[in-house]
Amino acid sequence: MSRADYGSLFSAVEACRGGDSVEERVAGFAERAGSDPFNAYVTLAPERAIARARGLDRSPRTGKLFGLVVSVKDNIAVRDVRMTCGSRILQDYVAPYDATVVQRLEAEGAVILGKTNLDEFACGSSGERSAFGPTRNPRDPERVPGGSSSGAGASVAAGYCDIAVGSDTGGSVRCPASFCGVTAFKPSYGLVSRHGLADMAMSLEGPAPLSASVEGCALFLDAVCGTDPRDPATTATPGRRFRDALSEPLPRLRFGVAREMFDSLAPEVERRTRDAAARLAEGALSEVSMPALEHSLAAYYLITYSEFASAMQRFDGYRYGLRAPDEGLSETTMQNRAALGAEVKRRILLGTYVTMKEYRGKWYSSALAARDAIREGFERAFRQVDLLLAPTMPFPAFKLAERISDPLAMYAADVLTVSANLAGVPAGSVPIPGPGLPVGLQIIGPRGEDARVLRTMAAWEEMAG
């Protein structure tokens, strides 16, 4: 994203509010997305989008996102549009209601163009585990786009939308942003309602935006954040607009790097991240130690397995979804689940195992203790520094099929992103310009300091040019 492009989304909103045709704008995006060689979209809904655009053209032309084109990850409900969660068991399911984020985006004049591909039920880090085929990385189609919001990342990188709505449980928007060379932001836990998101691990996740620049992430938050009676974890809206925060003067901040986040990195990732951190911090950079991060992958996966195994019990095929022939309750449920993919089965199995009475103390309770230790580690670090800087991913995008058969090699991709979810803190990823494959810089802040993280992401965009 060049400096010249900064502010381009807001300009588009202004132009549409001023009388430019939303229908023509949406038709342009629909035509581009119609070709989609990257498998970014599972379901395109151009007729719905055009009808909506025509309605906006006849409206009083107001709204923070008026005329912007949005893609929605296919684990978030859009009324009357198919919602597959990337799974065969929901291949024909049509959502009868809108998620809160969808309601709020449309209320601000956004147009939803379609539903984007994802790892089945968001279980994956590469975008290869969808029942509808893998998504490819627009920056190099032989490589993965990252996951689980794979289609969301590709839809932004390929120019098929202005803003993509993904979800982030352990890095699922930051990973594709890093691999595809775009921007993403995981808000503080509770800032954005989860109502209408098919949960993978409800204590860790929420809807989260990706866009070509931080401005898209800020506009998304301005439209959707705030309390929702349908999600008791939601917190009150901050008193000011996030987009306005982007142009406020940048206060003098103390930056930190955690030495545990610089272990075992690909050499170019380490070099580019250290260079970027030094430039951004302008001398105010110190090293902190967060030893509990050693346990972040184990804590994250054990908690995710447990919550996921519980969440998946609703997909019994009785009220919606794929239904096997009736052979009794247990048999039918088992046969319905036979259509699930390998990673989903692995997580259900392990989640059941680690929460069984005889194993719970050894595994699940330990994971909860590790989560507490990681949260305390962040609290201690944020007494010393205002923001932490780290790579988003330990390596650039890898080739399709390179890690798919080795679950531990795949999980290792998440090592730098999961801790922000365990601690509930905000974290963004912005591209570090350079030759070769994209690399993302991760900026992590204390819980509730989302505007500070976004402001600093904008400062990096300006600096990186």
The full length of the chain comes to 465
Tokens of 174: 């930051």
Selected from 15, 140, 332, 402, the binder of another protein by CB under 8 A is 332
- DSSP tag of 94: B
Residue 94 C-beta-side C-alpha neighbours within 13 Å:
5
User: For another protein, which is the closer residue by CB, 8 or 365?
Assistant: 365
User: For another protein, which is the closer residue by CB, 250 or 329?
Assistant: 329
329 binds another protein, rule: CB under 8 A? yes
232 binds another protein, rule: CB under 8 A? yes
Tokens of 39: 């498998």
368 binds another protein, rule: CB under 8 A? yes
* Residue 399 a catalytic site member: no
User: For another protein, which is the closer residue by CB, 160 or 378?
Assistant: 378
Segment interacting with another protein, rule: CB under 8 A, options 130-138, 144-152, 296-304, 447-455: 296-304
Q: Is the peptide bond before 211 cis (omega within 30 degrees of 0)?
A: no
What phi and psi values does residue 140 have, to the nearest 5 degrees?
-165, 100
d(CA 77, CA 97): 7
Catalytic-role residue among 126, 148, 167, 429: 148
Catalytic-role residue among 150, 172, 188, 211: 172
Cα 251 versus chain centre, distance: 28
How many other C-beta atoms can be found within 10 angstroms of the C-beta atom of residue 328?
Answer: 8
| Span between the terminal Cα atoms of the chain, in Å | 7
What would the x/- binding string for another protein be over residues 181 to 200, using CB under 8 A?
---------x----------
Work out how close the CB of 391 gets to another protein at its nearest, in angstroms, rounded to a whole number.
21
Catalytic-role residue among 64, 73, 115, 186: 73
What would the x/- binding string for another protein be over residues 372 to 391, using CB under 8 A?
-x------------------
If you compute the radius of gyration of the chain from its CA atoms, what whole number of angstroms results? 21
* Residue 345 a catalytic site member: no
297 binds another protein, rule: CB under 8 A? yes
Selected from 61, 93, 202, 274, the binder of another protein by CB under 8 A is 93
220 binds another protein, rule: CB under 8 A? no
Which parts of 54-83 interact with another protein (CB under 8 A)? 80
Tokens of 156: 């932004």
What phi and psi values does residue 206 have, to the nearest 5 degrees?
-175, 165
Which parts of 258-287 interact with another protein (CB under 8 A)? none
Residue 281 C-beta-side C-alpha neighbours within 13 Å:
23
* Residue 365 a catalytic site member: no
Selected from 250, 334, 401, 463, the binder of another protein by CB under 8 A is 334
Whose structure tokens read 């290792």?
A: 412
DSSP run (H or E) holding 387 = strand 387-391
357 binds another protein, rule: CB under 8 A? no
Q: At what angle do helices 214-224 and 450-464 cross, to 10 degrees?
A: 160
Q: Which residue ranges make up the site for another protein (CB under 8 A)?
A: 80, 93-94, 96, 190, 229-230, 232-234, 294-295, 297-299, 301-302, 309, 317-323, 326-335, 337-338, 342, 345-346, 348-353, 356, 361-370, 373, 407-408, 411
Q: Which residues are catalytic?
A: 73, 148, 172
